[in-house]
Amino acid sequence: MPAMRCAVTGANGFVGSHLVDLLLERGHQVRVLARPSADLRWIRDTVVEIVQGSVQDPDAMCRTFDGCDLVFHLAGATAARNPEEFYQVNREGTARAVHACLEAAPTVQRFVLVSSIAAVGPGRDDAPLDETAEPHPINHYGRSKLAGEQAARALADRLPLTVIRPGAIYGPRDADVLVLLKVAALGFSVHVGLARRLLNFCHVFDVVRGTLLAATDPHGVDQTFNIGDVDNHDLSDVGQTMARVTGRRKPWPVWLPVSLAYGVGAASGAIARLRHTRPTLNVDRIRLLTARNWSMDVSKARQLLGYQPAHDLERGLTQTVSWCREVGWLR
- For residues 289-313, give the mean pLDDT: 93
> What does DSSP assign to residue 66?
T
State what percent of residues in the chain have pLDDT above 90.
65
| Spatial separation of the C-alpha atoms in residues 296 and 310, rounded to whole Å | 17
* Per-residue pLDDT at 66: 96
User: What domains lie within the chain, and their CATH numbers?
Assistant: 5-174+199-232+294-312 (3.40.50.720)
Look at strands 233-234 and 198-199 and give their pairing.
antiparallel
pLDDT greater than 80 at residue 285: no
Cβ pair 276, 104 in contact under 8 A? no
**Of 31-45, 172-186, 244-258, the least confident:** 244-258
Query: What are 165-194's pLDDT values in tens digits?
Result: 999 999 999 988 888 888 888 887 776 765
* Per-residue pLDDT at 293: 92
Return the number of other C-beta atoms located less than 10 Å from residue 41's C-beta: 10
* Per-residue pLDDT at 25: 94
Provide the angle, in degrees to the nearest 10, between the axes of the packed helices 235-245 and 175-185: 70
pLDDT greater than 90 at residue 253: no
- For residues 132-145, give the mean pLDDT: 94
Residues with Cβ within 8 Å of 60's Cβ and at least 6 positions away in sequence, in order, are 33, 51, 52, 53, 54
